[in-house]
Amino acid sequence: MTSKKNRLRIIPLGGLDEIGKNMTVLEYGNDMIVIDAGLMFPDDDHPGIDLILPDYSYIIQRKDKLRGIIITHGHEDHTGALPYLLRDLGQPVSVLGTRLTLGLVKDKLDEHRIKKPRLREVKPGGHVSLGMFGLDFLAVNHSIPDGVAVFVRTPVGTVLHTGDFKLDQTPVDGRFTDYGAFAKAAKAGVTLLMSDSTGAENPGHTPSETEVGATLRTIFMQAEQRIIVASFASHIHRVQQVCDAAVASGRKVVVTGRSMINTTRIARELGYLHIADTDMVDAYSMGDIPAERVVVLCTGSQGEPLSALARIANGDHKTVQVEAGDTVVISASPVPGNEKAVSRVINRLFKAGAHVVHRGVGRVHVSGHAAAEELKLMLNLAQPSHFMPIHGEARHLHAHSELAQAVGIPADRVFVLENGRCLEIDEAGVRVGEHVPSGVVYVDGLAVGDLGQVVLRDRQVLASDGMAMIIVAIDGQTGAVVGEPELVTRGLVIGASTDDALDGARARIDRVLKRMADEGVTDAAVVKKALRDSVSQYVWESARRRPMIIPVVMEV
């Protein structure tokens, strides 16, 4: 039997059956590496939550084995958990990435006051050894520059992790996916391919990013007044094309929104964004330039309430006010769950008299992820003996597994897993291993990981059904009620006449308290339960609601 020390374990802690919080652990003997450390943004099911991180307790418990963290590119769903992970590790560890990726990571770590991080720059075509792991880095196209795939060599097999990618034949920066490097990896032998599945349901090929540039130039030439463009701050290729179209149409670029300002600054300093200083204008100086000579580049493409575009739409932005005749371009697609927020912003902009262009009416956005035919090409390039789809919801993973089988990979060599379910590779082959602890960690303000499902469920109840508080004073000796009970409700509507319904609830409370007094009950816990059950039943009968019932019984 193969020794446990001579096996490679691939452990996804995030990124499976979800969009975001990508994180994968590779463990061999006394060595361990992590590929990506991302976060996920909350949706309507997570009231009050700021961020969602993967549960990386498995890494913390084995931190002495950790040889390095590899970041494939600079998007939040691959970097956002890194400051929290590094802080919880409490010891130096090397973080590897390309130049732009590390530039964005450093800014994030500075913001979190992570001191003296060990950042190690890698380049496509380069090789790094970390313990028993040999790492080769392969250039890939994505919606942010400097993305890489990682080819991992171990004594028992190899793993090719694509990161996020597309096969753009006319990339904005002229940097192509390195097909030769993938073919070279295939020649060396790929035991397991782990490939981005986000676009697996999309047929054909993902359009080139340069097609967006052509659309933007047309819009900019035709617009008669000011132009406002909302995009992801990290989409440097898109930002570059906005800048190019602005300069070509004789306009100055104004950047607003904290993340957009920071990212464009870093990209320019590192040489990934090219625009002359004379073509960029501070937002506070914009008033001196005619509206038809200005392009405002901002955040808010996802309808975030505090983003620059949302504040512009609401009329409360400090420096930018939308006017009738302005053109607003939303150069992104809504992340699942953000559709309503984006729609609200678009409606407000229309009400203000703006002309809004979004992906539904023009090619102002293309995906950064490979579509089905590109994914099949990647499978054929890598020629893996085994395949594991990653980075996607269950529907995307299963669609990608069908693509793999379509190009000839046997079904029993395709592994659609869940977070925490590990894959093991040794001399005997590849198989599904045990399940390790996995899940989510909630970030709420300064609280990290202190919010359990009970807290989240309470917030969901409060948001949907409201609350009722019953305040009662009883005699600690006899159980008799002292004074009048008080019923306080928030966010609770009971029937057509709330006042009458509340009178009915108060009557129920009086009956419960009389029964408790007649029975001589003086235990506050028993009285609380009786009150909660009675009022909860009454509200359900009256309004089919299950509000949070909080009885407060004071003994006097």
Active-site residue, selected from the candidate residues 36, 77, 146, 196? 196
Q: How far apart are CA 99 and CA 271, in angstroms?
A: 10
Considering 78, 161, 317, 369, which one is annotated as catalytic? 369
Contact 530, 522 (CB under 8 A): no
282 is annotated as an active-site residue: no
Tell me if residue 369 is catalytic: yes
Phi, psi at residue 400, to the nearest 5°? -70, -35
CB 31, CB 130: distance < 8 Å: yes
What is the distance between the alpha carbons of residues 416 and 17, in angstroms, rounded to a whole number? 10
Distances (CA, A) of 359 to 193, 330, 331, 450: 32, 7, 7, 39
Other Cβ atoms closer than 10 A to 493: 13
Annotate 73-97 with DSSP letters as a single string.
SS-HHHHTTHHHHHHHH-S--EEEE
Place of tokens 């009885």: 551
Distance of CA 523 to the CA centre of its chain: 48
> What are the C-alpha distances in Å from 316 to residues 262, 319, 322, 487?
22, 9, 10, 39
Q: At what angle do helices 372-382 and 394-406 cross, to 10 degrees?
A: 50
Report how far residue 150's alpha carbon sits from residue 192's, in angstroms, rounded to the nearest whole number: 12
Q: Can you tell me the distance from the alpha carbon of 306 to that of 318, in angstroms, rounded to the nearest whole number?
A: 12
Token pair listed for 485: 């009970």
Query: Which residues on neighbouring strands pair with residue 12, listed in sequence order?
Result: 24
In the chain, how long is the greatest CA-to-CA distance? 86
| 47 Cβ contact partners less than 8 Å away, ≥ 6 residues apart | 456, 459, 460, 462, 463
Residues with catalytic function:
196, 369
